[in-house]
Amino acid sequence: MNTTDLNLIRAFVAIYETGSVSAAAKRLNLTQPSVSHALSRLRDLLHDQLFTRTREGMIPTFNASQLFLAFKAALDSIESAISATRRFDPSQSNRCFRLALSDLGELYFLPMLVREFQKQAPSVALEIVQLDSEKISDWLNTGSVDAALGNIQLVAAHARKTSVFTETYSCLLSSTHSSIKDHLSLDEYVAASHVVVAPFSGHHLVEDAMTEMGLTRKVALKVPHFTNLVEVIASSDLLLTLPARVASAFAVEGRTRTLPLPFPIPTFDVNLYWQPHNEDSAAQQWFCDTICSALSGV
């Protein structure tokens, strides 16, 4: 197989997985006309339409679905062999990696990640993209981001996942709260005024647990992000329920403190998601490994 044939198969696999010529072009860093031309050539070579354009995207024909299984396996094998000969040297790279993070992830994870990247790869750039759970599958699929990190439950056919750590929730409150002392009872939690960050992917766990008990809490403040909330909590009697590690980090300065929730709540995993792109697998694997390593001790 020559390089031209391999590029045709790359284009076919990218169209099949992304469901779009434009998305395939973005993943492959090619122009849309180039991918369209590759598809046209492959159609002529295989004497099959391969894809039908619909409102839902490029729908594969029966033959295309059969070919994909063979093409994907062959391409993975070829690309893996090629990537094995490539060496990614982070200390010499000036590549820019893109990571999807929530604002809470930025507050908590980013200092640790930047510290690790600067130590291993001083010329590598890191771009943070605001996490959007509805778009993350497409972002990974097209290569718009290299990875996504957070309390997200992603269902994507080709994405990979690793659990970075398991987490639970704590309550953050002022160190000088007027009525809650060293123990937080269920009655006190229900009677208190709460801050809610919406949308927040883990928020439903708290609400689900309270609903099962037939309880509701009074929301006195709803905000779109976590920025500057520590000052709000420290200077009021409001309560903020958030991941325990983050709550503890916020409480370090002493103006706020943490207490366990007065009811059982399921733990959750903070996951790292990525979608392998074999043409850049060594760099991407280093990126994901470095994230996991930087956060392994948190």
User: Assign residue 221 a region: left if phi > 0, alpha if psi is -120 to 50, beta otherwise?
Assistant: beta
Task: Select the more confidently predicted residue: 1 or 141.
Answer: 141
Please report which confidence band the pLDDT of residue 283 belongs to, taking 50, 70 and 90 as the band edges: confident
| pTM over 0.95, yes/no | no
Give domain limits for the chain: 3-85, 96-165+269-295, 169-266
Quick: pLDDT tens for 26-69: 878 788 999 999 999 999 988 889 999 888 888 999 999 989 88
The per-residue pLDDT for 2 is 47
The per-residue pLDDT for 298 is 67
- Alpha carbon distances (Å) from 287 to 55, 96, 148, 155, 290: 35, 10, 11, 22, 5
Q: Which residues contact 229 (CB under 8 A, 6 or more apart)?
A: 195, 197, 223, 240
Q: Is the pLDDT of residue 139 over 70?
A: yes
Please report which confidence band the pLDDT of residue 134 belongs to, taking 50, 70 and 90 as the band edges: confident
Phi, psi torsion values for 272, nearest 5 degrees = -110, 125
CATH number for the domain formed by residue range(s) 3-85: 1.10.10.10
* Contact between residue 57 and residue 247 where contact means Cβ atoms under 8 Å apart: no
Q: What is the DSSP-derived secondary structure letter of residue 61?
A: P
- Alpha carbon distances (Å) from 124 to 88, 91, 118, 143, 175: 12, 8, 8, 18, 41
CA-nearest of 77, 150, 137 to 275 is 137
The structural architecture, per CATH, of the domain 96-165+269-295 is 3-Layer(aba) Sandwich (3.40)
Please report which confidence band the pLDDT of residue 154 belongs to, taking 50, 70 and 90 as the band edges: low
CATH of 169-266, one of 3.40.5.10, 3.40.309.10, 3.40.190.10, 3.40.1390.10: 3.40.190.10
The per-residue pLDDT for 227 is 78
Q: Which residues contact 270 (CB under 8 A, 6 or more apart)?
A: 149, 150, 151, 163, 164, 165, 166, 167, 243
Please report which confidence band the pLDDT of residue 78 belongs to, taking 50, 70 and 90 as the band edges: confident
The per-residue pLDDT for 86 is 62
Q: Is the pLDDT of residue 289 over 60?
A: yes
CA-nearest of 143, 95, 154 to 120 is 95
Q: Is the pLDDT of residue 259 over 60?
A: yes
Q: Is the pLDDT of residue 218 over 50?
A: yes
CA distance 272 to 250: 23
The per-residue pLDDT for 206 is 86
Q: Is the pLDDT of residue 1 over 70?
A: no
Topology alike, domains 3-85 and 96-165+269-295: no
Q: What is the DSSP-derived secondary structure letter of residue 194?
A: E
Quick: pLDDT tens for 167-206: 999 999 999 999 999 999 999 999 999 999 876 655 678 8
- Tell me the two tokens of residue 96: 């820019």
Q: Is the pLDDT of residue 278 over 70?
A: no
CA distance 194 to 50: 55
